[in-house]
């Protein structure tokens, strides 16, 4: 039976992934045990763990304990993350540090701890849930984009380092998904309203993620339209900036 560890397990996307993994031994990490129990209390093969993933010592102890108990982690899905869509001068220094702690540093630290074991076992798959915001930067997402661009850079290098050991690293870069993410990112709902017609459904995104488990897939970018926008952004950055700053300035 595969052992799959998922962070941010109480989130909207994680809930859909869990539904699609009935036969796996799941290790579900979240900040609030009660929330995890409410969601997954009846799941026959899910260990529910309350942890602050930004606490490096707690994370290190947990990983050591999990390897003692399970002997392996086949798949790590780094899913925890949040955004704040706001002008950069309205973001605090604390916000900057906190978001990097969750979206980037915790992901890097957990990947580091698990990857070293996967390397020894010459087997494993790390799936990093990043974002289109890690490929295309737009106004009011400077901090969020910075955390996600960093995560993609890290993942791209890690993939190369783990390649000789048969360990896969996949980055998943979705556009906006209909989850509770926007309660914090966009509390007044303006952005959500303007992108409503492009919203991805979390079950569809989860299906794609679960399908890639065990496959040597570099990345996937959703939806197709935003993937094309990303290619355009890379090829014609000046024109893309003009369009992103004017016509497609949704935030």
Query: Which amino acids are annotated catalytic?
Result: 144
- Give, in order, the Cα–Cα distances in Å from 173 to each of 3, 14, 54, 133, 200: 24, 15, 22, 8, 12
State in angstroms the smallest separation of the CB of 10 from ligand NAP.
3
Distance between CA 26 and CA 46 in Å, rounded? 5
Backbone angles phi, psi at 27, to 5 degrees: -120, 110
Helix, strand, coil share of the chain (percent; to 5): 55, 15, 30
151 binds ligand NAP per the rule CB under 6 A: no
Is the distance from CB of 129 to CB of 81 less than 8 angstroms? yes
162 binds ligand NAP per the rule CB under 6 A: no
Interface region with ligand NAP, contact rule CB under 6 A, candidates 41-49, 66-74, 75-83, 206-214: 75-83
Which member of 77, 81, 84, 110 binds ligand NAP (CB under 6 A)? 81
**Could you count the other beta carbons within 10 Å of the beta carbon of residue 136?**
22
State in angstroms the smallest separation of the CB of 178 from ligand NAP.
7
179 binds ligand NAP per the rule CB under 6 A: yes
Distance between CA 14 and CA 210 in Å, rounded? 11
102 binds ligand NAP per the rule CB under 6 A: yes
Which member of 31, 72, 119, 123 binds ligand NAP (CB under 6 A)? 31
124 binds ligand NAP per the rule CB under 6 A: no
Q: Which is nearer to ligand NAP, 180 or 223 (CB)?
A: 180
Contact residues: ligand NAP, CB under 6 A? 8-14, 30-32, 53, 79-83, 102, 129, 131, 174, 176-177, 179-181
């Amino acid at each position: 039976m595969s052992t799959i560890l998922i962070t941010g397990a109480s989130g909207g996307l994680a809930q859909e992934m869990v539904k699609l993994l009935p036969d796996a031994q799941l290790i579900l990490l979240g900040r609030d045990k009660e929330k995890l129990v409410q969601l997954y209390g009846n799941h026959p093969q899910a260990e529910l763990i309350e942890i602050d993933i930004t606490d490096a010592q707690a994370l290190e102890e947990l990983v050591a304990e999990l390897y003692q108990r399970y002997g392996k982690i086949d798949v790590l899905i780094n899913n925890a993350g949040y955004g704040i869509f706001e002008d950069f001068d309205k973001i605090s220094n604390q916000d900057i540090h906190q978001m990097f702690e969750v979206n980037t540093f915790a992901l890097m630290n957990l990947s580091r701890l698990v990857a070293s074991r996967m390397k020894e076992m010459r087997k494993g798959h790390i799936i990093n849930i990043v974002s289109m915001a890690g490929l295309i930067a737009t106004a009011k997402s400077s901090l969020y984009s910075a955390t996600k661009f960093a995560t993609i850079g890290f993942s791209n290098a890690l993939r190369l380092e783990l390649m000789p050991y048969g360990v896969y690293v996949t980055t998943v870069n979705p556009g906006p998904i209909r989850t509770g993410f926007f309660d914090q990112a966009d509390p007044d709902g303006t952005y959500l309203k303007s992108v409503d017609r492009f919203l991805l459904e979390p079950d569809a995104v989860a299906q794609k993620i679960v399908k890639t488990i065990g496959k040597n897939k570099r990345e996937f970018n959703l939806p197709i339209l935003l993937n094309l926008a990303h290619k355009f952004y890379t090829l014609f950055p000046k024109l893309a900036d003009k369009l992103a700053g004017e016509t497609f300035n949704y935030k």
